[in-house]
Amino acid sequence: MRGLEGRRVILTGGASGIGRATALRLMEEGCIVGIFDLDLAGAVETINQGINAKGQGFAFSCDISDHKAVTAAVDAFETDVGPVELLANVAGWDRPIAFTETDLQFWDKVISINLYGPLNLHHVVLPRMAQRGFGRVVNVSSDAGRVGSSGEAVYSACKGGIIAFTKTVAREMARKGIILNVIAPGPTDTPLFDEFAKSSPSGGKIAEGLARAIPLGRLGLPADYPGTIAFLLSDDAAFITGQTISVSGGLTMHG
């Protein structure tokens, strides 16, 4: 895709799942990718898998829910790699629990990762992009944030918030040379989904039911998303901002 080779990218959650697949795709496109993840060993493994790609990868241990930690990691990235040009917020976490059975501790964990994490990255990175007059951001939300998802009330609230936040900031930053967009995956076969399914007595049946409900007949795979993310970060999407694209096999269709 046009305009990705040599671009410097910060990507969260690149130690596994969609984040790993996206980091590898961006490295294939020639990007210099800084992976921010608490799982440093997983991030290093991602980089090792992409060792023959045109681009490069760097691993940074970072708790995205901690604003000071994010600032330190971005500073380290810019010292080691150079000014950040692209940002992909992929990291996420949840567990299926009916809302009335949740507690404040659970809310805090879900919100700190899925909402405060991206907010922290934007708060640290956007002023730097604005000062340089260029930046592109892709936030990974979820179709749970568009249509809801049983057992994921707080997660859905966070993901819906990310969609609204992205639209708002896209308006605020447009004249500063920064574009922001969202992709909304549907149910996806990742380590997080495995954990999700195992925590429910009917986890296997849930996966089968979701696959039947998806018009294309299967759960998503991590490899289904990096192309869309790469496109939205590339020059091919330079006139697209504030948009949300569902990548869900047709489970949700918006026009």
Please list the active-site residues: 155
- Kind and range of the H or E run holding 33: strand 32-37
Q: Phi and psi of 200, rounded to 5°?
A: -115, 135
* Residue whose C-alpha is closest to residue 56's, from 69, 66, 41, 46: 46
Local structure of residue 128 (DSSP, 8 states) = H
Q: How far apart are alpha carbons 86 and 251 in whole angstroms?
A: 29
Integer angstrom CA distances of residue 146 from 22, 56, 96, 184: 22, 35, 17, 8
Q: How far apart are alpha carbons 91 and 113 in whole angstroms?
A: 8
Cβ(22)–Cβ(53) under 8 Å?
no
Q: How far apart are alpha carbons 180 and 57 in whole angstroms?
A: 23
Q: How far apart are alpha carbons 104 and 120 in whole angstroms?
A: 21
